[in-house]
Amino acid sequence: MMRERSDFVVFHEPFGLSFYNSKERRNTNRYPDAEIKAENNYEATSQRLLDIAKKQQVFIKDMPYYISHLIIPFLTQECYV
């Protein structure tokens, strides 16, 4: 539906590569022989999405377990910036 609108750049599970194919990967069972690439790490993926979002609207559909280890510490902070 979001792709059909054509006013958003849509990313389908962009953090999947971080979860499976980065030095920070959280799961080695599904793709044990995956090529590890620096551009797949969480920070690089986040920055890529933020850079694109500065220019146009972005819609991201991702799996919560790909990023839960990043979100939970943020949500447990006393104040949000």
Which pLDDT tens digit goes with each residue over 28-57?
Answer: 788 888 889 999 999 999 999 999 999 999
Helices (H) and strands (E) in the chain, counts: 4, 2
- What distance in Å separates the CA atoms of residue 81 and residue 76, rounded to the nearest whole number? 13
Residue 80 lies in a domain: no
Residue 6 lies in a domain: yes
Buried-exposed string 9-27: b where 16+ CB fall within 10 A, e elsewhere: bebeebbbbbbbbbeebee
| pTM across the whole model | 0.77
Number of domains in the chain: 1
pLDDT at res. 2: 83
CB 42 within 8 A of CB 20: no
pLDDT at res. 8: 93
pLDDT at res. 78: 55
Residue type at position 76 = T
- Owning domain of residue 15: 2-75
* For residue 66, pLDDT beyond 70: yes
